[in-house]
Amino acid sequence: TKHQPPLLFTAAHFRQLPPSPYPEVAFLGRSNVGKSSFLNAIFGRPRSDIARVSRKPGKTRTINGFGEISTKGEIWKRWGRGGLVVVDMPGYGSGSREEWGGEIMKYLEGRKQLRRTYVLVDTQHGLKRTDVQLLVHLRKQGIPHQVVLSKVDKLLFPDAKFPSALKIHNGLVKLKGIRKEVREKLDKACAEVGVRGKMGDLMCCSSEKSLDVSSKTKRIGVDELRWSVLTACGLENSMNLR
Protein backbone atom coordinates (compact mmCIF):
# COMPACT_ATOMS: atom_id res chain seq x y z
CA THR A 1 0.00 0.00 0.00
CA LYS A 2 1.16 3.56 -0.69
CA HIS A 3 -0.81 4.92 2.24
CA GLN A 4 -0.08 4.25 5.87
CA PRO A 5 -2.62 1.67 7.09
CA PRO A 6 -4.66 2.98 10.02
CA LEU A 7 -4.65 1.18 13.35
CA LEU A 8 -8.27 0.09 13.63
CA PHE A 9 -8.26 -1.60 17.02
CA THR A 10 -6.07 -2.69 19.91
CA ALA A 11 -7.31 -5.30 22.36
CA ALA A 12 -5.67 -7.10 25.25
CA HIS A 13 -8.42 -9.72 25.32
CA PHE A 14 -10.44 -11.50 22.64
CA ARG A 15 -13.74 -10.29 24.12
CA GLN A 16 -12.64 -6.69 23.55
CA LEU A 17 -12.34 -7.06 19.77
CA PRO A 18 -14.84 -4.92 17.84
CA PRO A 19 -17.25 -6.44 15.31
CA SER A 20 -16.11 -6.10 11.72
CA PRO A 21 -17.57 -6.87 8.28
CA TYR A 22 -14.10 -7.29 6.75
CA PRO A 23 -11.96 -10.41 6.28
CA GLU A 24 -8.90 -10.72 8.50
CA VAL A 25 -5.51 -12.38 8.24
CA ALA A 26 -3.38 -12.90 11.35
CA PHE A 27 0.39 -12.94 11.73
CA LEU A 28 2.02 -14.59 14.71
CA GLY A 29 5.20 -16.33 15.75
CA ARG A 30 7.62 -16.80 18.59
CA SER A 31 8.80 -13.70 20.39
CA ASN A 32 11.47 -11.84 18.43
CA VAL A 33 10.93 -13.84 15.23
CA GLY A 34 10.99 -10.53 13.36
CA LYS A 35 7.22 -10.20 12.98
CA SER A 36 7.01 -6.43 13.37
CA SER A 37 9.73 -5.76 10.78
CA PHE A 38 8.02 -8.26 8.51
CA LEU A 39 4.65 -6.53 8.77
CA ASN A 40 6.22 -3.15 8.03
CA ALA A 41 7.69 -4.65 4.84
CA ILE A 42 4.28 -6.06 3.85
CA PHE A 43 2.78 -2.61 4.29
CA GLY A 44 5.44 -1.27 1.93
CA ARG A 45 7.14 0.71 4.69
CA PRO A 46 10.14 -1.38 5.80
CA ARG A 47 11.83 1.61 7.44
CA SER A 48 8.69 2.61 9.32
CA ASP A 49 7.39 1.46 12.70
CA ILE A 50 3.71 0.99 11.90
CA ALA A 51 4.16 -2.29 13.72
CA ARG A 52 6.55 -1.41 16.54
CA VAL A 53 10.00 -2.97 16.26
CA SER A 54 11.94 -3.86 19.39
CA ARG A 55 15.05 -5.82 20.31
CA LYS A 56 13.23 -7.10 23.38
CA PRO A 57 11.19 -10.32 22.92
CA GLY A 58 7.45 -10.13 23.54
CA LYS A 59 7.08 -6.42 22.71
CA THR A 60 3.68 -6.90 21.07
CA ARG A 61 1.32 -7.42 24.00
CA THR A 62 -2.04 -6.77 22.39
CA ILE A 63 -4.05 -7.91 19.38
CA ASN A 64 -3.64 -5.07 16.87
CA GLY A 65 -5.69 -4.69 13.69
CA PHE A 66 -4.43 -2.59 10.78
CA GLY A 67 -6.62 -1.61 7.85
CA GLU A 68 -5.65 -2.25 4.26
CA ILE A 69 -7.93 -0.10 2.14
CA SER A 70 -8.76 0.20 -1.53
CA THR A 71 -9.13 3.98 -1.67
CA LYS A 72 -7.18 6.79 -0.02
CA GLY A 73 -8.92 8.25 3.00
CA GLU A 74 -11.37 5.43 3.61
CA ILE A 75 -11.16 4.00 7.10
CA TRP A 76 -13.15 1.54 9.19
CA LYS A 77 -16.91 2.25 8.85
CA ARG A 78 -16.42 4.25 5.64
CA TRP A 79 -14.55 1.53 3.77
CA GLY A 80 -15.71 0.52 0.36
CA ARG A 81 -15.44 -2.94 -1.11
CA GLY A 82 -11.99 -4.47 -1.06
CA GLY A 83 -10.92 -3.78 2.52
CA LEU A 84 -9.21 -6.27 4.79
CA VAL A 85 -7.67 -6.25 8.25
CA VAL A 86 -4.11 -7.37 9.00
CA VAL A 87 -3.91 -8.56 12.60
CA ASP A 88 -0.62 -8.40 14.51
CA MET A 89 -0.78 -11.00 17.29
CA PRO A 90 1.28 -11.15 20.52
CA GLY A 91 4.36 -13.34 20.35
CA TYR A 92 4.47 -16.69 22.10
CA GLY A 93 7.28 -18.60 23.75
CA SER A 94 10.24 -17.02 25.55
CA GLY A 95 9.49 -13.50 26.75
CA SER A 96 5.72 -13.82 26.42
CA ARG A 97 3.22 -14.20 29.21
CA GLU A 98 1.30 -17.47 29.47
CA GLU A 99 -2.09 -15.77 29.30
CA TRP A 100 -1.30 -14.33 25.88
CA GLY A 101 -1.37 -17.88 24.53
CA GLY A 102 -4.95 -18.24 25.76
CA GLU A 103 -6.06 -15.05 24.03
CA ILE A 104 -4.29 -16.10 20.84
CA MET A 105 -6.17 -19.40 20.77
CA LYS A 106 -9.49 -17.71 21.48
CA TYR A 107 -8.93 -15.49 18.46
CA LEU A 108 -7.75 -18.26 16.15
CA GLU A 109 -10.66 -20.54 17.07
CA GLY A 110 -13.41 -17.98 17.55
CA ARG A 111 -12.91 -15.05 15.17
CA LYS A 112 -15.36 -15.58 12.31
CA GLN A 113 -13.65 -12.94 10.17
CA LEU A 114 -10.32 -14.82 10.16
CA ARG A 115 -9.44 -16.18 6.73
CA ARG A 116 -5.86 -17.37 7.18
CA THR A 117 -3.16 -17.42 9.85
CA TYR A 118 0.48 -16.86 8.93
CA VAL A 119 2.93 -18.47 11.35
CA LEU A 120 6.45 -17.06 11.15
CA VAL A 121 9.36 -19.40 11.87
CA ASP A 122 12.96 -18.18 12.15
CA THR A 123 14.95 -19.81 9.34
CA GLN A 124 18.12 -19.97 11.44
CA HIS A 125 16.47 -21.64 14.44
CA GLY A 126 13.87 -23.83 12.75
CA LEU A 127 10.76 -25.21 14.44
CA LYS A 128 10.70 -24.93 18.22
CA ARG A 129 8.45 -26.88 20.56
CA THR A 130 5.89 -24.08 20.81
CA ASP A 131 5.82 -23.73 17.00
CA VAL A 132 5.10 -27.44 16.62
CA GLN A 133 2.38 -27.37 19.28
CA LEU A 134 0.64 -24.44 17.60
CA LEU A 135 0.88 -25.84 14.07
CA VAL A 136 -0.34 -29.29 15.11
CA HIS A 137 -3.32 -27.65 16.82
CA LEU A 138 -4.11 -25.51 13.76
CA ARG A 139 -4.10 -28.57 11.52
CA LYS A 140 -6.17 -30.58 14.00
CA GLN A 141 -8.80 -27.83 14.22
CA GLY A 142 -8.84 -27.26 10.47
CA ILE A 143 -7.80 -23.61 10.81
CA PRO A 144 -6.36 -22.34 7.48
CA HIS A 145 -2.72 -21.44 7.98
CA GLN A 146 0.56 -20.89 6.19
CA VAL A 147 4.08 -21.40 7.52
CA VAL A 148 6.48 -18.59 6.61
CA LEU A 149 10.23 -18.96 7.06
CA SER A 150 11.44 -15.50 8.08
CA LYS A 151 14.90 -13.93 7.97
CA VAL A 152 16.04 -16.04 5.01
CA ASP A 153 18.52 -13.27 4.24
CA LYS A 154 20.57 -14.41 7.25
CA LEU A 155 21.12 -17.66 5.35
CA LEU A 156 21.48 -16.25 1.84
CA PHE A 157 23.46 -13.17 2.91
CA PRO A 158 26.04 -14.42 5.44
CA ASP A 159 27.87 -11.13 4.88
CA ALA A 160 26.47 -7.63 4.70
CA LYS A 161 27.37 -7.18 1.02
CA PHE A 162 25.41 -8.67 -1.87
CA PRO A 163 26.52 -12.31 -2.26
CA SER A 164 28.05 -13.90 -5.31
CA ALA A 165 26.05 -16.28 -7.49
CA LEU A 166 27.86 -19.21 -5.88
CA LYS A 167 27.00 -18.08 -2.34
CA ILE A 168 23.37 -17.58 -3.31
CA HIS A 169 23.31 -21.08 -4.81
CA ASN A 170 24.83 -22.60 -1.68
CA GLY A 171 22.38 -20.67 0.49
CA LEU A 172 19.42 -21.88 -1.57
CA VAL A 173 20.62 -25.48 -1.21
CA LYS A 174 20.74 -25.04 2.57
CA LEU A 175 17.31 -23.41 2.51
CA LYS A 176 15.88 -26.36 0.59
CA GLY A 177 17.20 -28.68 3.29
CA ILE A 178 15.67 -26.55 6.05
CA ARG A 179 12.30 -26.55 4.28
CA LYS A 180 12.41 -30.34 4.04
CA GLU A 181 13.39 -30.67 7.71
CA VAL A 182 10.56 -28.39 8.86
CA ARG A 183 8.00 -30.26 6.77
CA GLU A 184 9.12 -33.69 8.00
CA LYS A 185 9.25 -32.60 11.64
CA LEU A 186 5.74 -31.19 11.57
CA ASP A 187 4.24 -34.12 9.66
CA LYS A 188 5.82 -36.52 12.16
CA ALA A 189 4.45 -34.55 15.13
CA CYS A 190 0.96 -34.57 13.61
CA ALA A 191 1.10 -38.29 12.87
CA GLU A 192 2.10 -39.05 16.47
CA VAL A 193 -1.15 -37.54 17.77
CA GLY A 194 -3.33 -38.95 15.01
CA VAL A 195 -3.71 -35.77 12.97
CA ARG A 196 -3.92 -36.57 9.27
CA GLY A 197 -2.66 -34.62 6.31
CA LYS A 198 0.63 -33.39 4.92
CA MET A 199 2.15 -29.96 5.25
CA GLY A 200 1.80 -27.76 2.20
CA ASP A 201 4.49 -25.57 0.71
CA LEU A 202 6.44 -23.13 2.86
CA MET A 203 6.90 -19.47 2.00
CA CYS A 204 10.36 -17.93 2.44
CA CYS A 205 10.69 -14.21 3.11
CA SER A 206 12.96 -11.44 4.27
CA SER A 207 11.98 -8.00 5.53
CA GLU A 208 15.52 -6.69 4.99
CA LYS A 209 17.10 -7.90 1.75
CA SER A 210 16.42 -8.28 -1.96
CA LEU A 211 17.77 -10.74 -4.52
CA ASP A 212 16.91 -8.30 -7.30
CA VAL A 213 19.96 -6.17 -8.09
CA SER A 214 17.82 -3.72 -10.09
CA SER A 215 15.33 -3.20 -7.24
CA LYS A 216 16.84 -3.33 -3.77
CA THR A 217 13.52 -2.28 -2.23
CA LYS A 218 11.85 -5.49 -3.40
CA ARG A 219 12.11 -7.73 -0.36
CA ILE A 220 12.49 -11.49 -0.75
CA GLY A 221 9.10 -13.22 -0.89
CA VAL A 222 7.07 -10.19 0.22
CA ASP A 223 5.13 -9.76 -3.04
CA GLU A 224 4.23 -13.45 -3.01
CA LEU A 225 2.98 -13.15 0.54
CA ARG A 226 0.86 -10.11 -0.32
CA TRP A 227 -0.75 -12.12 -3.10
CA SER A 228 -1.40 -14.97 -0.67
CA VAL A 229 -3.16 -12.53 1.67
CA LEU A 230 -5.35 -11.22 -1.15
CA THR A 231 -6.36 -14.68 -2.35
CA ALA A 232 -7.10 -15.81 1.22
CA CYS A 233 -9.56 -12.92 1.51
CA GLY A 234 -10.98 -13.35 -2.00
CA LEU A 235 -9.71 -9.92 -3.02
CA GLU A 236 -7.15 -10.74 -5.69
CA ASN A 237 -9.15 -8.83 -8.30
CA SER A 238 -10.12 -5.81 -6.22
CA MET A 239 -7.06 -4.68 -4.30
CA ASN A 240 -3.29 -4.23 -4.40
CA LEU A 241 -1.10 -4.50 -1.31
CA ARG A 242 2.02 -3.13 -2.97
pLDDT value of residue 208: 83
User: What's the confidence (pLDDT) of residue 54?
Assistant: 42
Residue 167, classified by CB atoms within 10 Å of its CB into exposed (0-12), middle (13-18) or buried (19+), is: middle
Per-residue model confidence (pLDDT) at position 113: 94
What CATH number has the domain spanning 7-232? 3.40.50.300
Q: Which regions in the chain score pLDDT beneath 50? A: 1, 53-55, 57-58, 70-80, 241-242
> Domain locations in the chain?
7-232
Tell me what pLDDT residue 77 has: 44
Please give the C-alpha separations between residue 3 and each of 35, 186, 218, in angstroms, as whole numbers: 20, 38, 17
Decide if 107 contacts 17 (C-beta within 8 A). yes
pLDDT computed for residue 109 by the predictor: 93
Distinct helix (H) and strand (E) counts, the chain? 6, 7
Which residues in 88-97 are b (16+ Cβ under 10 Å) and which e? bbbbbbeebe
